[in-house]
Chains A and B, each alone.
Chain A
Amino acid sequence: MAQETKYLTEFYHLPEFKGIEGYKKNGGYKELEKALKLQPQAIIDEVKASGLRGRGGAGFSTGMKWGFLPKNDEPRFLLCNADEGEPGTFKDRMMMERAPHQLIEGMIISAYAIHSKKSYIYVRGEYDQSINTLEAAIQEAYKAGYLGKNILGSGFDHDMDIYRGAGAYICGEETGMISSLEGLKGQPKLKPPFPAVQGYLKKPTIVNNVETLAVVKYVIRDGAAHYKKFGTEKSAGTKLFSLSGNIIKPGNYEVPLGFALKDMVYELGGGIKAGRKLKAVIPGGSSAPILNAEESEKVNLDYESLAQAGSMLGSGAIIVIDESNCMVQCLANLTHFYHHESCGQCTPCREGTGWLDKITHSILSGKGRMQDIELLLKISDNMKGRTICALSDAAALPVISFVTKFRDEFEYFVREGKSKVKGTAYKGTSHVEMHH
């Protein structure tokens, strides 16, 4: 029987863990004291050695990212990406609401490592409770002397602020977030220059996910070698997965990377609702290509295995789809989402997401043409990798995987004008119509 590995989430069941007292009782802020005595470079080396990879989606080595900072260019900024917008993901929210100090401590250690005197937590606007909890926690940390001037007598100053997003998905992209933080329209910026060189206010900036920053504390606590014991060789550590969809026990589960997806669905998740059969799994948030039942039985939850299976780990949001779902409708939901969230900067994405959305909805409304299926693939192919940020890819990859893996359903819908699974046409008002 597969089990959760509660490493980060060890004390999450304790309501007191939210406050500074309860947090300290369970080992909180000890690592900060330890870290402040270390050389900053030693922390960076330790994180590099731990093999920690960014938990936000791209899976880029955290230590390496920190190493990109140009020397002697200050001020530097640390930005915590808590704009958890990826459909299906809700792990950061739990981390912020249950253990805000864990994040704050991780951030102070990280900030110390990269010589940053100011950090921001960019929280998704809808996360009211997270914002309130974090706000209170930061106040507590200031009072306890963990933030502010001369932290714990080490001579290191650090200030932390919360910035509340306004609900745009694209602000979860690091340069989009920086634009938003600067008070501009939330649009990704051209790379190069990368944020580590020229980020917030054109100063070196490190943007890390909530989970990544929280892990830093544990790397310091147990050492890189201990952390590397979890997971596979290239995907070290544990990770929180958000399990949702047609599953009996949805929720956040912490498992070491390399955990079998099958076990996640059937054992931790308790299997599919109402005894139905598994049809497909989106393993890494809505932007990840979908896996059909057969593929998802075989794949493991780590960066390499999923890449090999043609998908990605992403933010670790596992969306389980059972046989009662019409894939055309599922895809239409996704294309609508990306159409709505495209920032409109790059042409292929601005026009492409709208076009995909219109085509999927015209298929749904029974007006699809057979060539539309091929057209969906062509459009997606030409959106992929052609834009400033990855939103275009995020919109294109699901379309390609849905259409190639469930082509029969799309063809049936076009031919018969109704869903193969549900036997009905799409009834609701198409939002495409609503826009006119």
Chain B
Amino acid sequence: MLKCTINGVALEVKPGTTIIQAMSENSQKIAHYCWHPGLSIAGVCRLCMVEIQGNPRVQIACNTTITEGMVINNTSDKVKEAVKWGLDFHLINHPLDCPICDQAGECGLQDQYMEYGQYDSEMAEKKQKKHKVVDLGPTVVLDSERCILCSRCVRFTDEVSKTHELGIFNRGDHAEIGTHAGKKLDNKYSLNTVDICPVGALTSKDFRFKQRVWYLKESQTVCNGCSTGCNVKVHYNKEGLFRVKPVYNAEVNGHWMCDEGRDTYKFVNKEARLLKGSKYSNKAWQIDLHSGAVAKETALNLKEAKPEEIGLVLTGQHTVEEYEAIVTAFVNFYKTKNIFHWINNKDSFDTFDGLLLRGDKNPNTKGLLQTLDKYGITSKWTDLEDGLKTKKIKYLVVAGPENTFVYPDLQSKLQLFSQAENFIFLSSARMPALESYAGDNKISLIPLKTYIEKDGTFINAMGLAQKFKKATTVVSEALTLTEAAALITGQNINITETPAENLFIATNKRPDQVQLEHRKKNEFVFNRGRL
């Protein structure tokens, strides 16, 4: 261990640590753009200036390794002046189109300017014009004028995704980021470039212009896109969820996540969700039923059934706690061991691309298998198919997948399940295919909560158990599988439901011309006092 002093604080660091690493690990502030802990050192933004005792010139912190007894500071006037000018060089040709820039609010230039800049610009010459709204590929849009050429995205495609699509073209202040001839920025990790872009040069097509970032709250969770279980944060407000971004976890995903995982917010939003319970019996649908009521009725039905007539199908998309609850309910209460594991993509189940993406598109297959193991369940999928064909299984409870996009066999499986006389489908996703069902069997649909809306644990492919907390509620009436298990066994639970409408208006019948919707939207105003 080496001893050094940074801004008067004595530190001990490992040999080989650069100054900027030491500073960021010890939460000292330092301006920087091009340095990123997950990428190689470029040393081009020249912003992370520090003064080292005994050296008359200011140095960059990202390429200077700490030596024994080094005394470093980045708070002297000399450093401040250097950083201020470094910022000015970044900004002289910046278009300052913050109003239409998606990055505004989380922009490195804005932040650093407020922190280290705050001067009157002396630039009186014409700004350099470059390309705007360049379509780099299916996911990313480039604005060269906003780009500060920190080369993070280029290094990402060279070092992490190893797809080498991006490069810096031309020289001097004509230099621009671009894709190599004939190539598009089209890889499974392309949106990481948007995350690491410190300015608004690279924007995500998916999120572009959807929301201003200051309207969004963020909450940390675990991605349920595949069995890697990347740590992510979701950005949401009352209108729904808008994007997913990675959170650093050295053991799981490092700094990155895949593009597929970024779509996992889409099936959480109301448009894709089953909002209310419904029931099909006697060839007619009863819709808009309370989910709890449907579940309770299921309990009454199941209690009449013999254990061998009951079956339960589970996917790897729920939490360990939920599996525990529902499997106990069926094994101990209904005394059945007809519990089946629905595997969605058999062929690619064990594939891995070497970085993050796994073929198993369920976040918690390991957790499910562990629970099944614990209860000694050995039933095979063919048992279920036979049971349904021979009408041995009459009551089938299925906890369907949240992310139906990765279940290509969904339709065929639904057809299979609806062969059961009583098919109870617990699902977070809307099921248009079932809604048009017109057979003789009975179907109950009970809305489930998604991973965003509950606490729980996922065990990823490496066997790492990761706990996560509820971020927000999208469908308040939906049940977690634990709640559903309790109701299905005939217990009572308390569901706290946020009222959909203002109760005051409901009693006071005067129709209001003012739509309530947009009153709820503007959360920034509520936070204004604090911001």
For A362, the chain B residues whose CB sits under 8 A away are 124-125
Partner of B44, one of A170, A185, A346, A354: A346
Partner of B173, one of A168, A190, A339, A385: A339
For A170, the chain B residues whose CB sits under 8 A away are 171
Q: Is A386 among interface residues, defined by CB-CB distance under 8 A? A: yes
For B122, the chain A residues whose CB sits under 8 A away are 371, 375, 378
Q: Is A340 among interface residues, defined by CB-CB distance under 8 A? A: yes
Q: Is the CB of B46 within 8 A of A355?
A: no
A351-B90, A352-B89 given; A344·B149 CB < 8 A:
yes
How far, in angstroms, from A385 to B57 measured CA to CA in the complex?
Answer: 7
Partner of A355, one of B43, B49, B123, B148: B123
B33 nearest in chain A by CB position: A347
Partner of A354, one of B63, B85, B93: B93
For B43, the chain A residues whose CB sits under 8 A away are 190, 346, 388
Q: Is A358 among interface residues, defined by CB-CB distance under 8 A? A: yes
Q: Is the CB of A386 within 8 A of B82?
A: yes
Chain A: how many interface residues by the 8 Å CB criterion?
37
Q: Is the CB of B85 within 8 A of A348?
A: yes
A338 nearest in chain B by CB position: B172
For B81, the chain A residues whose CB sits under 8 A away are 382
Q: Is A345 among interface residues, defined by CB-CB distance under 8 A? A: yes
A351 nearest in chain B by CB position: B89
Q: Is A343 among interface residues, defined by CB-CB distance under 8 A? A: yes
How far, in angstroms, from A425 to B205 measured CA to CA in the complex?
Answer: 50
Q: Is the CB of B126 within 8 A of A436?
A: yes
Give B325 Cβ to nearest chain A Cβ, in Å. 56
Give B236 Cβ to nearest chain A Cβ, in Å. 35
Q: Is the CB of B86 within 8 A of A354?
A: no
For B521, the chain A residues whose CB sits under 8 A away are none
A436-B126, A436-B129 given; A344·B175 CB < 8 A:
yes
For A205, the chain B residues whose CB sits under 8 A away are none
Question: Which residues, 382 to 408 on A, are CB-close (under 8 Å) to B?
Answer: 382, 385-388
A347-B89, A347-B90, A348-B85 given; A168·B171 CB < 8 A:
yes
Q: Is A76 among interface residues, defined by CB-CB distance under 8 A? A: no
Question: Which residues, 38 to 63 on B, are CB-close (under 8 Å) to A?
Answer: 41-47, 49, 57-58, 63
Q: Is the CB of A359 within 8 A of B125?
A: yes
Partner of B171, one of A344, A352, A378: A344
A192 nearest in chain B by CB position: B63
For A93, the chain B residues whose CB sits under 8 A away are none
For A386, the chain B residues whose CB sits under 8 A away are 46, 49, 58, 82, 86
Q: Is the CB of A346 within 8 A of B63?
A: no
Q: Is B170 among interface residues, defined by CB-CB distance under 8 A? A: yes
Give A143 Cβ to nearest chain B Cβ, in Å. 40
Q: Is B101 among interface residues, defined by CB-CB distance under 8 A? A: no
For B168, the chain A residues whose CB sits under 8 A away are 185, 344
Q: Is the CB of A351 within 8 A of B93?
A: yes
For B26, the chain A residues whose CB sits under 8 A away are none
For A347, the chain B residues whose CB sits under 8 A away are 44-47, 86, 89-90, 148-149
Question: Which residues, 170 to 197 on B, are CB-close (under 8 Å) to A?
Answer: 170-175
For A369, the chain B residues whose CB sits under 8 A away are 124
Q: Is B486 among interface residues, defined by CB-CB distance under 8 A? A: no
The interface residues of chain A, by DSSP majority, are classed as helix
For A353, the chain B residues whose CB sits under 8 A away are 172-173
Give A367 Cβ to nearest chain B Cβ, in Å. 9
Q: Is the CB of A358 within 8 A of B172?
A: no
Q: Is A38 among interface residues, defined by CB-CB distance under 8 A? A: no
Q: Is the CB of A345 within 8 A of B44?
A: yes
Q: Is the CB of B172 within 8 A of A382?
A: no
* Binary contact readout A326-360 vs B (1 if CB under 8 angstroms, 0 otherwise): 00000000000001111111111011111100110
Partner of B92, one of A344, A346, A355: A355
How far, in angstroms, from A435 to B44 measured CA to CA in the complex?
Answer: 25
Q: Is A432 among interface residues, defined by CB-CB distance under 8 A? A: yes
For A343, the chain B residues whose CB sits under 8 A away are 171-172
Give B527 Cβ to nearest chain A Cβ, in Å. 34
Q: Is the CB of B171 within 8 A of A342?
A: yes
Partner of A351, one of B57, B171, B173: B173
For A359, the chain B residues whose CB sits under 8 A away are 125
How far, in angstroms, from A190 to B129 measured CA to CA in the complex?
Answer: 29
For B126, the chain A residues whose CB sits under 8 A away are 358, 432, 436
Q: Is B522 among interface residues, defined by CB-CB distance under 8 A? A: no
Most buried by A among B92, B126, B173: B173
Q: Is the CB of B45 within 8 A of A355?
A: no
A371-B122, A432-B126 given; A339·B172 CB < 8 A:
yes
A386-B82, A436-B129 given; A346·B46 CB < 8 A:
yes
For B286, the chain A residues whose CB sits under 8 A away are none
Give B486 Cβ to nearest chain A Cβ, in Å. 60
Task: List the 8 closest pairs (A to B, CB-CB), nearest first.
Answer: A344-B175, A358-B125, A382-B85, A354-B173, A342-B172, A351-B89, A190-B43, A344-B172
25 A–B contacts, CB within 8 A, in A order: A185-B168, A190-B43, A341-B171, A342-B171, A343-B171, A344-B168, A345-B149, A346-B43, A346-B44, A347-B46, A347-B47, A348-B89, A350-B149, A354-B93, A355-B92, A355-B125, A359-B125, A369-B124, A375-B122, A378-B85, A382-B86, A385-B57, A386-B86, A387-B46, A388-B44
Q: Which residues of chain B have a CB within 8 Å of any CB of chain A?
A: 41-47, 49, 57-58, 63, 81-82, 85-86, 89-90, 92-93, 122-126, 128-129, 148-149, 167-168, 170-175
Q: Which residues of chain A have a CB within 8 Å of any CB of chain B?
A: 168, 170, 185, 190, 192, 339-348, 350-355, 358-359, 362, 369, 371-372, 375, 378, 382, 385-388, 432, 435-436
